Amino acid sequence: MIRTFEQMNLLSVSLLAADFGFLARDVEMVNLSEADWFHIDVMDGVFVPNISFGFPVMKAVKKCALKPLDVHLMITKPELYLDDFKDAGAEILTVHYETCPHLNSIINKIKSCGMKAGLALNPHTPVNLAENIIHELDLLLVMSVNPGFGGQKFIDHSLRKIEQAKELIIKHSCKTLIEVDGGIDAQNASQIYSAGADVLVAGNAIFSSPNQKEYIQRMKNTSKR
Ligand code: DX5
Ligand code: ZN
């Protein structure tokens, strides 16, 4: 997780787009691929207009996953469940700025539970709102779609936000990784890494591909423009 100011070019595969009838098979595909993390999207039907899955499914994934679980919480009151997410296997736990009035407290609690702490920003939430917390964060997640659903189109303005996030991290000399989530595929990956992203999330593009492992390899090999 540690970075100086070098780009990491990591790939986190969103299981939201997996075939839940064959979840162990899809987890194994990711294990055998060049992907780095499993991206786990937890939605509560309140913060976002969709419900995904919770602890039993996460625990089932954890049993067969050989790579870290990068858990993206799209839920209100995430502070109520930190220990549960740790027990279910989360290594990185990301909460949304828009759901956390006591951000400093929750970020510190995530870390004291033994997880890496991330902060997600909705597409309309300005990057500078993270200025007073950036030095505490292991990860800053720039949402490039409105959260709630896979398979949406990448919002182009996100590229500017990634650049601003990078500037903020450099300004504060911190080691926070920039993750970008939503509408990413092998065509736009290079541009997004080049804007300053360290970790790309991809779901639909990978799972709808006829050769998923090869598609992951293509995304990992994307050269910077
Ligand atoms: C959207 C989720 C994303 C989603 C990405 O709310 O946070 O992680 O699964 O899926 P694609 O890659 O299909 O946009
Ligand atoms: Zn996500």
Parse the chain into domains and list their residue ranges.
10-222
Q: Which ligand is nearest to the CA of 94?
A: 2
Q: How far is CA 204 from the centre of its chain?
A: 14
Res 8: pLDDT? 80
Q: Is 183 in the pocket of ligand 1 (CB under 6 A)?
A: yes
**Residues of the chain with confidence (pLDDT) below 50:** 1-4, 224-225
Q: Are 99 and 138 in contact (CB under 8 A)?
A: no
Q: Which residues are catalytic?
A: 41, 181
State which CATH number among 3.40.50.1000, 3.20.20.70, 3.40.1360.10, 2.40.50.140 fits the domain covering 10-222: 3.20.20.70
Measured in Å, how far apart are the chain's first and last C-alpha atoms? 24
**Residues in CB range of 130: below 8 A, 6 or more apart:** 97, 119, 121, 137, 140, 165, 168
pLDDT at 43: 98
Q: How far apart are CA 176 and CA 185, in angstroms?
A: 23
The predicted pLDDT at position 2 comes to 39
Ligand nearest to the CA of 145: 1
Ligand 1: residue whose CA is nearest its atom 9: 150
- In the chain, the amino acid numbered 62 is K
Instruction: State pTM to two decimals.
Output: 0.96
